[in-house]
Structure 1
Amino acid sequence: MICSSLEEVRSNIDRIDNEIIKLIAERTEYVKQASSFKKSESGVKAPNRVEAVIQKVRKRALEHGASPDIVEKLYREMIASFINMEMDEYKKNQG
């Protein structure tokens, strides 16, 4: 979509941000559920799974015309944050 003003650009960015936040909230619920299936802290960290996700999102970034480097950086930060949250959930489930 070609915008005719900065306000229109910002409005579209705000709309997209709202959708991203809703999807992050949905992802959060699944991450919390995943912690109950994990058998160990190393299972929570799952470095092989992290790398598989990174490779998948880099490929999808290319398919959609996004920068794979930006997508990877965002996902690494997001995954690290989710791992910390999942570790807290895992420890609560163990206690």
Structure 2
Amino acid sequence: MSPSNKKKLEIIRSKLDKLDNKLLSLVKYRTNLVKEVLKLKTYKNEIVDKKRINFILKKINGKSKKLKIDPKITNRIWKNMIWSYIDYEKRNFKKK
């Protein structure tokens, strides 16, 4: 890699690092919202809502296409996020 391209790579990576920090803040905010949702659930079987999951994934797919983002990327990100939060909810569910 040329010195010029190395410098460009460093700049881009720095921007990615800053973006990652912003994403972490958003994940924290989302986690707090999920905690609030979990407080409203009475039974553990309320944690997985397949209709809601399908609705979210369809919505993200449509928005991805409109924004010209590869829908395979966003679908994978959202599926992983959804199932990670489902796991979180199951681990933190308290019988009422």
Q: TM (normalized to structure 1)? A: 0.84
1:89 deviates by: 2.2
Over the aligned positions, Cα root-mean-square deviation in angstroms equals: 1.5
Alpha-carbon distance in 2 for matches of 1:65, 1:17: 21
- Does the CA contact (< 8 Å) of 1:44 and 1:87 recur in 2? yes
Q: How many correspondences in the alignment?
A: 90
Structure 2 stretches of 5 or more lacking a match? 1-6
From the CA coordinates, give the structure whose radius of gyration is larger.
2
Look up the SS of the partner of 2:69 in the other structure.
Answer: coil
> Of the candidates 55, 60, 68, which is equivalent to residue 58 of structure 2?
55
Structure 1 stretches of 5 or more lacking a match? none
Instruction: Report whether the alignment pairs 1:71 with 2:74.
Output: yes
Look up the SS of the partner of 2:40 in the other structure.
Answer: coil
> Of the candidates 13, 22, 36, which is equivalent to residue 39 of structure 2?
36
1:80 deviates by: 0.5
Q: TM (normalized to structure 2)? A: 0.83
State the AA in 2 paired with 1:55.
K
- Does the CA contact (< 8 Å) of 1:62 and 1:68 recur in 2? yes
Question: Structure 1: which 4+ aligned runs deviate by more than 3 Å?
Answer: none
Single out whichever of 60-69 and 78-87 deviates more from structure 2. 60-69
1:32 deviates by: 1.0
> Of the candidates 14, 22, 28, which is equivalent to residue 19 of structure 1?
22
Alpha-carbon distance in 2 for matches of 1:21, 1:60: 22
